[in-house]
């Protein structure tokens, strides 16, 4: 008997010991992490940078305008490259963000967790099967004056299967059938009997904790929590997609700004070369050369800054969309292909606000919170009642005087009297301050939820109206920037002609050139901000841009987290991958390959021009078109 017990214990203990391997592995990982914490290394010890060159000499003799550092500027700007070009449009940006963004995928897991919590709460009324099997030997000493000290041995075997059924009223029913046998031996005398006792036991709260409403309230709270998490996930989806659209339009803006600044640089270079020729022919002053050299250096600085901003915009969009085929390093650049849609609109503020009141996920989240707080009040109110529980049990009895004779004991049902019990338990707290305080706290929480909901409705209304105002102003800015570009072009052409005639100094011409560049940049800024403001309006209303909705609940892919990461931030990074003069097409060649906007906006300007009403119109904003 003892050997069988030992074998059983070892068989049960072996799996428990095997589980420690996973724990040891995680401990080793913690030890590795601990070694990296506590000491901060210096940048010089990383061995990630090497000094290459210093600042070259800039001194030159006065009066020799062609012998300066502009050749180094030409070399720097001329060698700028953005690596391999990859075209991307706004639709691809949205799709890639929804499919690949890990932050969005992480957010979509939260409603799944809440869904499983709801499932667990709904399963609290599931029946439970229990079984207890025990075998016991008890040896007791017995001393008598005649025999002296003797041993009394009692062996008992008991089997007790049962089913527990929770009730939606708060109580429970236990159905059990206990069969047992006992052998007692003393002085070579043995006594044995077997028993079979099927029974039924009921526990039911009558006041506190009783009733279907109280016991199913936790399920409704779990449903409200799931609704809150789904609302938060919808907010995250909208925010992430709006962020991706904003990142796309920032990429478009930085690309257009880079085009404008490269055009400014090319114009300044042409003016400088022309002025040097005029100086060599004694037709101009060397001071004009120096002025255009300053303009060339300033334009080169703007090119470098805008090229840096373009790189950052490319990387920002890559981080948002997280396409596994687009590495973060600068060897692969993104070229925006979707142009701004320049159409003015009239807005029905009342209808947009009403739609936002029904569909803003933030408002739905607060509605769920208000429902949850109302259910909390219902539960806390029930808990102020006294505890009064009904207890009842009944069982059949079957006995026999033979060991392990369970069938004979069962056949004895009806010959033995039934067992039963009926009673109540009462518990009344003196003062009941805990329950009353919890009820008051729940009432205050519900009031707070109502206040938060009303406050949020006010802010949502303001956000929609602000977005409408921004769009209306943005359209007016587009119209004025269009006129500003045309005026700046005329201004520059006139000053260029006056300078060629010798009627104005070169400083006036460079000012006109800068005014033209500023007008072009202002036009790009106005067009891009108009697109971003549309995304802001969609976000304020509670929807997205585009002609189709987004079913975000079907985009969660849990299996991807069991596989190695598809998007590695180190992919494609080499020791020289961030050099400005790395192999690849130069910026100037990219500009020639990419159709740049003309001064009046090119094809985009033509769309804009068709949208501008005639001067006799009293309303500068056209009606929405059929698109």
Task: Give the pLDDT band (50/70/90) at residue 147.
Answer: low
Is 19 within a domain?
A: no
Mean pLDDT over 461-478 rounds to 95
Q: Comparing 178 with 414, which gets the higher pLDDT?
A: 178
Task: Give the pLDDT band (50/70/90) at residue 377.
Answer: very high
Identify whether residues 226 and 141 lie together within a single domain.
Answer: no
Mean pLDDT over 394-407 rounds to 70
Please compute, for residue 157, the number of CA atoms within 13 A of its CA located in the half-sphere on the CB side.
Answer: 9
Mean of pLDDT over the chain: 80
Is 16 within a domain?
A: no
Is 216 within a domain?
A: no
Identify whether residues 197 and 293 lie together within a single domain.
Answer: no
Provide the 3-class DSSP secondary structure of residue 154: strand
Q: Is the pLDDT of residue 608 over 50?
A: no
pLDDT given at position 185: 77
Residues 413 and 407: beta-carbon distance below 8 Å: no
Beta bridge partners of 77: none
Q: Cα separation of 313 and 319, whole Å? A: 10
The tally of domains found in the chain comes to 2
Is 544 within a domain?
A: yes
Residue pLDDT, tens place only, 254-275: 999 999 999 999 999 998 888 8
Identify whether residues 277 and 305 lie together within a single domain.
Answer: yes
pLDDT given at position 529: 95
pLDDT given at position 350: 94
Identify whether residues 277 and 401 lie together within a single domain.
Answer: no
pTM: 0.77
Nearest to 341 by CA among 143, 528, 153: 528
Identify whether residues 233 and 330 lie together within a single domain.
Answer: yes
Residues 386 and 427: beta-carbon distance below 8 Å: yes
Query: How far is residue 167 from each of residues 125, 202, 216, 536, measured CA to CA in Å?
Result: 7, 10, 10, 51
Q: Comparing 79 with 37, which gets the higher pLDDT?
A: 37
Is 366 within a domain?
A: yes
Residues 191 and 385: beta-carbon distance below 8 Å: no
Is 153 within a domain?
A: yes
526: part of which helix (H) or strand (E)? helix 506-541
Identify whether residues 256 and 393 lie together within a single domain.
Answer: no
Q: Cα separation of 289 and 297, whole Å? A: 12
Identify whether residues 258 and 342 lie together within a single domain.
Answer: yes
Is 22 within a domain?
A: no
| In the block, residue with structure tokens 């075998």 | 135
Give the range of the structural domain holding residue 598, as residue numbers without chain letter. Answer: 70-117+221-370+449-611
Is 52 within a domain?
A: no
Identify whether residues 134 and 107 lie together within a single domain.
Answer: no
Identify whether residues 520 and 598 lie together within a single domain.
Answer: yes
Q: Is the pLDDT of residue 598 over 50?
A: no
Identify whether residues 494 and 361 lie together within a single domain.
Answer: yes
Q: Comparing 339 with 410, which gets the higher pLDDT?
A: 339
Q: What is the CATH number of the domain that holds 503?
A: 1.20.1600.10
Identify whether residues 149 and 248 lie together within a single domain.
Answer: no
Q: Comparing 353 with 145, which gets the higher pLDDT?
A: 353
Ranking 11-20, 22-31, 174-183, 335-344 by mean pLDDT, the lowest is 11-20
Q: Is the pLDDT of residue 623 over 50?
A: no
């Amino acid at each position: 008997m003892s050997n069988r017990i030992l074998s059983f214990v070892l068989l049960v203990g072996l799996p428990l010991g095997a589980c420690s391997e996973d724990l040891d592995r995680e401990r080793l990982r913690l030890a590795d992490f601990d070694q990296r914490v506590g000491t901060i290394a210096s940048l010089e010890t990383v061995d990630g940078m090497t000094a290459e060159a210093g600042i070259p000499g800039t001194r030159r003799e006065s009066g020799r305008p062609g012998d300066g550092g502009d050749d180094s500027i030409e070399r720097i700007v001329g060698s700028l490259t953005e690596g391999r070009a990859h075209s991307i449009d706004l639709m691809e940006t949205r799709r890639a963000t929804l499919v690949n963004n890990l932050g969005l995928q992480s957010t979509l897991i939260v409603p799944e967790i809440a869904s499983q919590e709801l499932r667990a709460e709904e399963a609290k009324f599931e029946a439970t099967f229990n079984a207890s099997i025990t075998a016991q030997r008890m040896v007791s000493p017995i001393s008598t004056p005649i025999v002296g000290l003797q041993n009394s041995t009692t062996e008992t075997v008991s089997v007790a299967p049962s089913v527990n059924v929770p009730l939606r009223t708060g109580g429970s029913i236990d159905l059990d059938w206990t069969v047992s046998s006992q052998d007692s031996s003393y002085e070579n005398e043995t006594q044995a009997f077997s028993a079979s006792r099927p029974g039924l036991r009921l526990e039911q709260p009558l006041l506190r904790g009783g009733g279907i409403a109280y016991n199913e309230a936790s399920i409704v709270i779990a449903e409200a929590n799931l609704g809150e998490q789904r609302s938060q996930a919808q907010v995250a989806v909208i925010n992430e997609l709006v962020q991706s659209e904003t990142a796309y339009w920032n990429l478009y803006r930085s690309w257009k700004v880079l085009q404008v600044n490269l055009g400014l640089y090319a114009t300044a270079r042409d003016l400088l070369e022309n002025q040097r020729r005029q100086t060599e022919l004694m037709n101009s002053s060397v001071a004009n050369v120096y002025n255009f050299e300053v303009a060339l250096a300033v334009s080169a600085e703007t090119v470098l800054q805008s090229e840096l901003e373009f790189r950052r915009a490319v990387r920002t969009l890559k981080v948002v969309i997280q396409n596994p085929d687009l590495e973060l390093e600068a060897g692969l650049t993104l070229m925006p292909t979707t142009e701004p849609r320049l159409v003015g609109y009239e807005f029905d503020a009342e209808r947009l606000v009403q739609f936002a009141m029904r569909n803003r996920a933030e408002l739905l989240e607060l509605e769920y919170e208000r429902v949850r707080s109302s259910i909390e009040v219902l539960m806390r109110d029930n808990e102020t009642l006294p505890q009064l529980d009904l207890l009842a049990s009944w069982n059949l009895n079957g006995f026999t005087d033979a060991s392990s004779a369970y069938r004979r004991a069962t056949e004895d049902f009806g010959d033995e009297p039934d067992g039963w019990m009926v009673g109540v338990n009462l518990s009344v707290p003196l003062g009941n301050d805990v329950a009353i305080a919890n009820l008051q706290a729940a009432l205050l929480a519900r009031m707070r939820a109502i206040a938060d909901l009303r406050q949020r409705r006010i802010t949502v209304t303001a956000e929609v109206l602000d977005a409408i105002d921004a769009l209306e102003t943005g359209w007016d800015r587009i119209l004025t920037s269009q006129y500003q570009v045309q005026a700046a072009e005329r201004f520059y052409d006139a000053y260029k002609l006056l300078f060629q005639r010798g009627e104005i100094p070169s400083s006036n011409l460079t000012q006109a050139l800068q005014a033209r560049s500023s007008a072009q940049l202002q036009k790009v800024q106005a067009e891009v901000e108009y697109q971003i403001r549309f995304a802001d309006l969609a976000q304020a209303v509670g929807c997205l841009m585009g002609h189709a909705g987004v079913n975000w609940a079907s985009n969660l892919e849990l299996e991807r987290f069991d596989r190695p990461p598809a998007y590695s931030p180190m992919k494609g990074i080499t020791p020289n991958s961030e050099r400005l003069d790395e192999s690849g097409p130069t910026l100037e060649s990219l500009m020639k390959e990419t159709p740049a906007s003309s001064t009046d906006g090119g094809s985009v300007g033509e769309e804009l021009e068709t949208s501008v009403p005639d001067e006799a119109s009293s309303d500068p904003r056209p009606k929405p078109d059929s698109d």
